[in-house]
Structures are given as C-alpha cells and as structure tokens.
Amino acid sequence: MSDRPLPTPPVAQALVGVVLAAALLAGLRDVAFKVAPAASAPFTGAVDATLGPVQHLIGYRQWWTMFSPSPPRNSRGAQVEVMGTDTRWRVVTAPTLPGAGEVQLGYRRMGKFERNLIKDKDTAADLREAVARRLCASEVGGQPAVGVRITRVEKVTPPPGGAPAAWERRVQLEHWCR
C-alpha cells in the first residue's frame, strides 16, 4: 500500500506538454500584440490562424490589461438623447460615471458593457444604429420620437500639477426617424 498518487501516464504528460506549449505560444502572441502590434503582425497572424478558433471557443486569452501599457487618461460614458415632435432633445441615458461622494458597493456589469460598446470597433457602430432604430419606435414626453442623438462624453484627466479635469463631448450619431 502506498500513499503516492497513480503516476501520470506518459501519454497524458505529453498531452499536457503540448497544451502548455500552445498556451505559451498564445500568451506570447498576446504580449507581442500589446507591445508591438505592427512588428509582430506575422507572428500574431500565424498564431491566430492556428490557435485562434480554439482560444475563442474556450475563452483563452492572456490579455491582461491591468492598466498596461498605460492607464486610461479619461473616463468615458455615453449620453443618449431623443427628440420629440416639439424638436426638444431629452436625455434618455446619462453617462454612468459615479457622482461625488457616491459609493459603489456592487459591481455593475452594465457599466462595463456600456464602456465596451463605446470603444469596441466591431460592435459600436452597429449597436448605435440598432439603439437609434429601437428608440425611433418609442415615445418621448408623450410625443413620437423624430430623432436620436448619441454622444460620447469624456472626462479628461489632466497631467499632474493640480489642474482640474476637463470635459469633452463628441456626437457619434444623429439619426432621424422615418
């Protein structure tokens, strides 16, 4: 009788070795893409072609942002406004930035979702159109909607020195309902 575990069979060890090598390759790809996207394009492209589908399926990404290479220098949010037949813009969704003194205890995934919707190049434009079409079918202030405006709102952090933060606004979409 022994308290040693059953030894891992050589085949299983080899399999683990292959998986670890693939994981290492995928990890190097993510670091290379983050540090030097243009220079590493041939390497990252080759890894994506071979490992990409599996990585996507199992959600394997060694993409640890953690404020690298630099933390954001602004705080972003989206403001959605709808115009009624009286031609007045009304705010439907304000940017979800915490107010002064407001304590957030629970994590809001919708906040993360909204931020990603603004910055994600693949989905942002489509989604803005979809939101606009959807809002066009609604009412605002008891009137049918005639227009939708989506504005990207940013609070820009100044460099150290004590200057106050500045606000920037950029209209991303103005959609007129038919």
Partner 1 sequence: MPVTPLDRARRWLFGPVDARVVGWMRASLGALLVTSHLAYAPELDALFAPDALLTQGLFRSDTRWLAWYRLVPDAASLDLLHGALVVPALLVLVGLGGRASLLLALLAQLALMHSNGLAQNGGDRLLRMWTLCMLGSNGTAAVALDAWWARRRGRVPPAVVSGLAVRLVQLQLAWMYCSTGLAKLGGSTWRSGDALYYALLAEHFQRVGGLFTPERLGAGVALWITRLGTWLVLAWEAGFPLWVAWRRTRWVALALGVVFHLGIFATMMVGTFSVVSMWGYLAFVLPALPALGRTGPAVIPVRATPTRRPPPGSAG
* Positions 72 through 111 that interact with partner 1 (CB under 8 A): 72-77, 96-104, 106-111
Which lies closer to partner 1 via its Cβ, residue 48 or residue 114? 114
Q: Is 170 in the site for partner 1 (CB under 8 A)?
A: no
Strand partners for 148: 82, 175
Q: Is 52 in the site for partner 1 (CB under 8 A)?
A: no
Q: Is 54 in the site for partner 1 (CB under 8 A)?
A: no
Rg of the chain's alpha carbons, rounded to an integer? 24
Give whole-number Cα distances, 92 to 30, 71, 140, 161, in Å.
38, 30, 9, 36
Residue in 15, 18, 35, 91 binding partner 1, rule: CB under 8 A = 35
How many whole angstroms separate alpha carbon 32 and alpha carbon 70?
16
> What is the nearest approach in angstroms of partner 1 to the Cβ of residue 74?
8
Residue type, 97: L
The answer to whether the CB of 127 falls within 8 A of the CB of 70 is no
Which lies closer to partner 1 via its Cβ, residue 42 or residue 102? 102
Residue in 40, 48, 62, 177 binding partner 1, rule: CB under 8 A = 62
Q: Is 42 in the site for partner 1 (CB under 8 A)?
A: no
> What is the nearest approach in angstroms of partner 1 to the Cβ of residue 35?
5
Residue in 22, 25, 31, 177 binding partner 1, rule: CB under 8 A = 31
Per-residue DSSP letter, 28: H
Which lies closer to partner 1 via its Cβ, residue 2 or residue 87? 2
The answer to whether the CB of 43 falls within 8 A of the CB of 31 is no
Q: Is 22 in the site for partner 1 (CB under 8 A)?
A: no
Residue in 39, 54, 56, 94 binding partner 1, rule: CB under 8 A = 56
Candidates 42-50, 60-68, 144-152, 168-176; binding stretch for partner 1 (CB under 8 A):
60-68
**Count of CB atoms within 10 A of residue 176's CB?**
12
Q: By CB neighbour count within 10 A (0-12 exposed, 13-18 middle, 19+ buried), where does 166 fall?
A: exposed
